Structure 1
């Protein structure tokens, strides 16, 4: 776990520089959502003349979904770590193209994000905030992004999220834009003990009907399943395109080899014909040579005989 600075959160004496601001941010983002802005402004006033004042004053209030995830990180740390561990295993299985492990981990991912989102809703309710279905969808999308993208995983584990995350599977998640400070990536919020429940005060802005809630939950599950199926289809299509290109290249190379083989066969036939003609010519030349040698021998003997006859006279 990262250490935010020399001072503990809430003691009023955080460390200097980025670590000191992280310590203050960890304290502020662990507060009830409605207390964030006044507490942030009060801390900024306390830091008048301190170089950290501007950074603290610039801390953004988290969205409701981001605050719920930050709450989850602090009070259900083990569950969040389990989510991130399954995500890391899923990414490793994708890189290794382990189809069986990938299917099993994908199933675990869906079950786990749904279960942890349900727990997040109950946790937020115990902290006085009713989570609407729309916010729950954003919470689950953020947890899914943390499993898909390592940068998003860092952002979630920091406990300093200011906006929800989503991963499309195309390109990296802009995790730095979703946290309170750039230094938050790599920081890990401390686990906290569960406080006593507080009265519920959040916005009851949606009809509380079982049928509507069930339909929306089914819609969220269907959308998540559709996104996953689309991503799997896209990966399969990429593999089809790669193999099709490879097949075309192999076919082209095979055609070239066949053309070359035909040329070589034709050249071999022409060479065989030329060789037969050359052998015939050689045989005829050898016969002519033999006759010429025989004539030469007769002529030589005739000369010798005549010379001998002249010498005897």
Structure 2
């Protein structure tokens, strides 16, 4: 089957760096216009830039298709175990799903870093939701394998995944069918084999998954609470120690202040004594000066010759 030229362009654009999307889209549209493909050029111009999460899904599909195939295979195994009501198998596959979702998040960050594309925690969470939806609904699996995802998708575990406007071009299964005929047949067969009983099994599996997710969330919250309590206790101990040190320092300073006050009082008393002594000395000095002056005058009087003597 001849590949849809629009899908080919869309896969190329939606896996390229988001910052270059608009310029690349314009260039491809001009190229199609120059080649006389006016309708194709118009459809290329109408292509929508993917969200960060959708771009990361497309980039993983382009850079690591084998990793995305593992998502499809695990989803098929999960649906089969749900149909067979194999609880032990479901638990085993649920653990594998969590490990695979964590790996997808790591690899998406690595690809984003290689493309120099910022990828927020929220975008990584949406990426994981998209791959989890692919494990629930075969149509969603084809959407993430299309390489043309425009927005993130999610599954509530009950009804079909909403794919309206999620894929840039046509059927979400085009690339999936071209890449793996066997896998595509298995997905289609599973989709045709879905019955009310299988839907009930999926609902039960989804409820079990939500229960496990809730327990895991509560376990993490409890661990975080214990860690916060430990941190608070350490902080309290450090604060108590600092408070004791501050109290000791305060007591030492108060003692020193009292000692300085005592020294100041003694210094003031000594200053008063010295002031009084200085006053006495000044008074004695003044009296002595007066006595000396009187003595000099008296001496001068006796040193002068008597009248009528030569």
Instruction: State which of 88, 97, 101 in structure 2 corresponds to 1:100.
Output: 88
Q: 1:135 to 1:226 in 2, by over 3 A?
A: farther
Aligned to 2:24: 39
Q: Determine if the alignment matches structure 1 residue 59 to structure 2 residue 47.
A: yes
The answer for unaligned runs of 5 or more in structure 2 is 180-205, 215-310
Kept in 2: contact 1:84–1:153 (CA 8 A): yes
Shift of 1:175: 2.4
Matches within 5 A, 1:1-313: 5=3, 19-48=4-33, 50=37, 51-188=39-176, 228-230=209-211
* Worse-superposed segment, 146-155 or 48-57: 48-57
Deviation string 1:150-172 (CA, Å, 9 cap, x unpaired) is 11100001111010111111210
Q: 1:227 to 1:93 in 2, by over 3 A?
A: closer
Aligned to 2:251: none
The answer for unaligned runs of 5 or more in structure 1 is 6-18, 192-224, 234-313
Deviation string 1:37-70 (CA, Å, 9 cap, x unpaired) is 1111222233335222222111110000000111
Q: 1:29 to 1:113 in 2, by over 3 A?
A: same
> How far apart in 1 are the matches of 2:152 and 2:209?
19
Kept in 1: contact 2:139–2:172 (CA 8 A): no
Shift of 1:120: 0.9
Aligned to 2:301: none
Q: 1:146 to 1:179 in 2, by over 3 A?
A: same
Deviation string 1:279-301 (CA, Å, 9 cap, x unpaired) is xxxxxxxxxxxxxxxxxxxxxxx
Task: Please give the root-mean-square deviation of Cα atoms over the aligned residues, in Å.
Answer: 2.6
> How far apart in 2 are the matches of 1:63 and 1:230?
30
Deviation string 1:100-132 (CA, Å, 9 cap, x unpaired) is 111111111111111111111111111101321
Kept in 2: contact 1:71–1:159 (CA 8 A): yes
> How far apart in 2 are the matches of 1:22 and 1:37?
17
**Structure 1 length as normaliser, TM-score?**
0.54
> How far apart in 1 are the matches of 2:25 and 2:81?
42
Shift of 1:232: 9.6
Shift of 1:138: 0.7
Shift of 1:20: 1.3
Q: Helix, strand or coil: the match of 1:187?
A: helix
